[in-house]
């Protein structure tokens, strides 16, 4: 992995996994993002909020296709997008790349965007799963939301992304959700995402969102892409650490 990739410098990738030749596992290259590829010079697209204001699924698909095409031509396999969390406060740092406050609109435009992107031969990474709706204390805040509100407001767009959009990957978020961190919540990653919705892709952590290797692995966190020590005392996946966690 190359930590310089997060700067968006030309010739790098936001994330990179070098692969395992003996297992015939190829390298994996990942890039941001919802409003344009974060990798040197690239097309700067309008805010996702502007896209949502169009109420136009065909336009959303063209938007996703443009990002997917540029990402592919720059040698990427995965795009960290779309952002389909609901907008709950204008102070949220990701407000500009959200699709607004309405679950139905966010779901339908998100599905169209994913289809456009993945038609270019790259994988969509829907984010941030789940209830990542504020910037203050985002690494540690515990979002306390009952299951009815989760099902009616905060999760429908992710379900649509998986079931209708066939998104290939999901990014678990920084925050806690009713106690556990999202990236080590077996209720979220296993019971809901995989069992209830039938997700067959892979789950990766937002940069610094992986906290404890053992509970993350058991909950369903497949890939920890951040190349150095995580924020807020978290742990990175390394071969030795993963083997120790699985043996515990």
| Mean pLDDT computed over every residue of the chain | 92
Query: Which pLDDT score is estimated for 29?
Result: 95
31: which 2 tokens? 């890039």
Read off the pTM. Answer: 0.93
* The pLDDT of residue 181 is above 80: yes
Nearby residues of 196 by Cβ (< 8 Å), 6 or more positions away = none
193: which 2 tokens? 């995402």
Mean pLDDT of 204-215: 86
**What's the CA gap between 235 and 42, in Å, rounded?**
33
Element (H, E) at 78: strand 78-80
Does residue 206 carry a catalytic annotation?
A: yes
Mean pLDDT of 22-30: 93
Of 63, 77, 206, 230, the active-site residue reads 206
Predicted confidence band of residue 233 (pLDDT cuts 50, 70, 90): low
Predicted confidence band of residue 234 (pLDDT cuts 50, 70, 90): low
């Amino acid at each position: 992995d190359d930590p310089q990739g997060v700067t968006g410098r030309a010739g790098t990738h936001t994330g990179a996994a070098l692969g395992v030749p003996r297992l015939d596992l190829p390298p994996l290259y990942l890039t941001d993002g919802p409003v344009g590829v974060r990798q040197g010079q690239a097309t700067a697209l309008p805010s996702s909020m502007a896209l949502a204001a169009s109420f136009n699924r065909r336009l959303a698909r063209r938007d996703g296709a443009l990002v997917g095409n540029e990402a592919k031509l720059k040698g990427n396999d995965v795009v960290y997008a779309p952002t389909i969390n609901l907008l709950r406060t204008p102070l949220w740092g990701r407000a500009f790349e959200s699709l607004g406050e309405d679950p139905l609109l966010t779901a339908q435009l998100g599905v169209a965007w994913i289809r456009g992107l993945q038609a270019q031969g790259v994988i969509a990474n829907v984010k941030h799963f789940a209830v990542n709706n504020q910037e203050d204390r985002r690494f540690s805040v515990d979002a306390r939301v009952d299951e009815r509100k989760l099902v009616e407001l905060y999760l429908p767009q992710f379900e649509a992304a998986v079931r209708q959009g066939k998104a290939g990957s999901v990014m678990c978020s920084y925050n806690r959700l009713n106690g556990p961190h999202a990236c080590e919540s077996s209720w979220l990653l296993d019971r809901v995402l995989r069992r209830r919705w039938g997700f067959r892709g892979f789950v990766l952590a937002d940069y610094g969102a992986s906290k404890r290797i053992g509970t993350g692995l058991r909950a369903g966190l497949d890939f920890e892409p951040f190349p150095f020590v995580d924020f807020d005392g978290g742990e990175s996946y390394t071969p030795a650490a993963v083997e120790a966690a699985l043996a515990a």
